[in-house]
Amino acid sequence: MTLTIGIDVGSSAIKFALMEIVSGEEKLIGVRTGRIRRRDPKSVIVETFEHLLEESEVSKDDLDYIATTGDGELCEFRTGHFYGMTTHARGALFLNKDANAALDIGALHARAISFDPRGKVLGYRMTSQCASGSGQFLENIVRYLGIALDEVGELSQKADNPEIVSSICAVLAETDVINMVSRGISAPNILKGIHLSMAGRFAKLLRSSGSSGLVMATGGLARDAGLIAATREEIARQGLGLEFVTHEHSPCAGAIGAAIWGAFRYEKLRQREIAGV
Amino acid sequence: MEHACDCERGASGDSSCADSGSEVSEIVRRCEELYDDLDLGYVKKWKEEHRSKAIGFLPIYVPRELIHAAGMLPVGIMGAGDSLEIIRGDAYYQSYICHLPRSVIELGLSGRLDCIDGFLFPSICDVIRNLSGMWMSLFGGKYVKYLDLPQNLAPALGGKFYRHELTRIRADFERISGREITDDRLRKSIRTYNQNSRLVRDLFRIRSETPELAPASEVHLLMRAGNVLSVEDHSSLLMEYISATMKTKRKKMDNARIVLHGAFCEQPPLGLLRSLENAGCDIVDDDLVLVNRWIKDPVSTSGDPMDALVDAYLHHSVANASKYIADDEKGRELIETCRSKRVEGVIFAAPSFCDPSLLELPMLQDALDRAGIEHTNFRYSEDMGQFHSIREQAGTFADSIKLWS
């Protein structure tokens, strides 16, 4: 049995996944998310790590590999680090074995990743440095609207006449939203418009990355039901022929993938040690 | 897998480990101060204390023993990195020329190199050759020498030529310093540099065997310190670091073992090296700051010291893009390094517009392909500030090695 933990250090939240692998069978023991909220990320990592181990009744010494992804250098007790695309691809595959691609929608950017049945990345495309396709952008908008982030998905799905944001620039889009509020546009219609604008960019990423078949949403925004619905609409509208799904553990896909690759490396290094290489 | 210690800097609860950790941090901090000091405060102080002169040199190699034997301080000038705004330097070079000469010109015109009494421009590429000419025009009162290193490595031809070059600069240094360079003095300097090279080799061995104890970014700072410090001070610093870092229990990471190659002249910014490390790479060898590793073996301290310096260059210097390889196979030495240091991949990092590095690249890539060694490549400049795309590339490269090779 191999016991590993994956830690996905993001810019607004740090996700943890504890995995057990027995004879090649991967089992998710537990997940936990630590929100950074202007705190020192290093202390959030230590705190959340300890909570997860405690609730899972696992000691740190029992862990065979501590794998990080994202800004992993902030985790000083890591065993190894894997790049975000590698871990999101593997995490998506764990959440749905039929997945061929992942759409990672995080706080700072979004990226479409296509991969083979082993989880090996075949191609990717990501948003540029502009924030308008990211969670941070959405967070800013809902703050202007005085809405909690958790309410966004439900409200967006109540829209009856979405107001499309005219620009892909985050700064100009924020100005658009202020104008919409002053014109009396309802919050659901504003949110749906924002979602559709973001979804349009995601659909382009999926198309250009060569994604096909089943696409798994990963990253923090994968739990935004409104955004998922809007992305499905865009995929259909653009005729991409993709099935777009999400999972309750999608926000932790990076951490899950890191934990699985950590187990893989642990076994590989153990074999090397046995062989005396 | 063992989790040796939770500390990166020795905070394991073991007091000797904690002390060594802070000792390492302190040494690294001192090196960083030297690295950031474009005004060469150490050089000015050294000159005052020794009532002597300083001779600057450009990458990659000059025989520093001759400068030392004349009682002067050799100072390596490797550009200004990312901490100097280029205002006048750009006017001297076309946009398709590398960044190093612009920042060296900027350093000179801003008066930061006023404390340097003479300059050696070794023959690396046309840009450095042109820079030596510009230096003569701009700073007419100072000693400037274009040092023609031999490309023909036969003793009867290149050896004779190189000895002639060394004899000329030996006489120049005697004149500038007012001190005769006797054979005994030169032998003593060779011994001093041999000791320094031995310490550098020790450090690189530690780095290769236990990369967590000597991370690339720290080793680079130590090597850069050697550009400014006197060889005696640099050797003390190396001994101090080696002793301190060996006592720390820094955690071993599961990283890809890579070699960084092609960055022998214009140096990448420190942030880039740190980004590569953070992307999951243990850089177990490189060709940065080659001057103290250019000669692979100790230089002979018996017989004629000038012959010893010539022999060292002809028969014991490293393979490099700036040196002609006649009978040897291109890439052989790099492949040997990869095999002896259990390297899993090579990252070719070439400064933008660096002719020697970029022209050599396809030949080395072919050699690595034949040897079955993974590789990737990118360009940089000394003043770049965004490493995101390089980190992404290095991260995926490290993952591909760890998971799919």
d(CA B169, nearest CA chain A) in Å = 48
Which of B7, B250, B253, B254 best probes binding to A when mutated, by most A CB atoms within 10 angstroms? B254
Closest by CA position to A115, among listed A138, A97, A90? A90
The pTM for the full model equals 0.89
Q: Which of A135, A79, A94 is nearest to A111 (CA)?
A: A135
Contact B402 A72 (CB under 8 A): no
| CB–CB contact A86 B403 (8 Å) | yes
pLDDT at position A277 is: 67
Burial A175-190 (b: 16+ CB within 10 A, else e): ebbeebeeeebbbbbb
Identify the pLDDT of residue A137: 80
Which domains occur in chain A, in start order?
Answer: 2-83+252-275 (3.30.420.40), 97-246 (3.30.420.40)
Distance from CA of A5 to the nearest CA of B (A): 14
CA-nearest of A120, A101, A121, A122 to A112 is A101
**Would you tell me the crossing angle of helices A225-237 and A187-208 to the nearest 10 degrees?**
50
**Length of chain B measured in residues:** 405
State the pLDDT at residue A131: 59
Chain A residues lying within 8 Å of B6, measured CB to CB: 76-77
Determine phi and psi for A29, rounding to 5 degrees. -85, -45
Contact A76 B251 (CB under 8 A): yes
- The closest alpha carbon to A261, from B212, B67, B85, B400, belongs to B400
pLDDT value, residue B17: 62
- Report, in angstroms and rounded to the nearest whole number, the Rg of chain B calculated over CA atoms: 21
pLDDT of residue A108: 80
Residue of A nearest to B405 (CA): A268
In angstroms, the CA B161 to CA A201 distance is 65
Which of A65, A72, A86 is facing B1, going by the closest CB pair? A65
Answer yes or no: are the C-beta atoms of B80 and B110 closer than 8 Å.
Answer: no
| Structure confidence at residue B123 (pLDDT) | 94
Q: Is A134 helix (H, G, I), strand (E, B) or coil?
A: coil
Q: Does B271 touch chain A (CB under 8 A)?
A: no
For residues A23-46, give the mean pLDDT.
93
| pLDDT recorded at residue A273 | 87
Flag whether residue A50 sits within 8 Å of chain B, measured between CB atoms. no
**The pLDDT of residue B122:** 97
Whether the CB of A81 is below 8 Å from some CB of chain B: the reply is: yes
Is residue B254 within 8 angstroms of chain A, CB to CB?
Answer: yes
Q: Could you tell me the pLDDT band of residue A258, with boundaries at 50, 70 and 90?
A: very high
Query: Among residues A253, A126, A113, A133, which one has the least CA distance to residue A199?
Result: A133
Residue in A with minimal Cα distance to B10? A76
Distance between CA atoms of residues B133 and A192, nearest Å = 65
Residue B214 three-state SS? coil
Q: Would you call B255 an interface residue with chain A, using a CB distance cutoff of 8 Å? A: yes
CB contact under 8 A, A269 and B278: no
pLDDT of residue B300: 97
Question: Low-confidence residues of chain B, pLDDT below 70?
Answer: 1-18
Locate all alpha helices (DSSP H) within chain A, ordered by sequence. Answer: 41-56, 84-95, 135-145, 152-156, 170-182, 187-208, 225-237, 253-275
Is B392 near chain A, with CB under 8 Å?
yes
In angstroms, the separation between the Cα of residue B86 and the nearest Cα of chain A is 26
- Out of A79, A82, A264, the one facing B3 most closely (by C-beta) is A79
pLDDT digits (tens, 9 = 90+) for A192-217: 998 998 899 899 999 999 899 999 99
DSSP state letter for B295: B
- What DSSP string describes A170-221? HHHHHHHHHHHHHTT--HHHHHHHHHHHHHHHHHHHHHHTT--SEEEEESGG
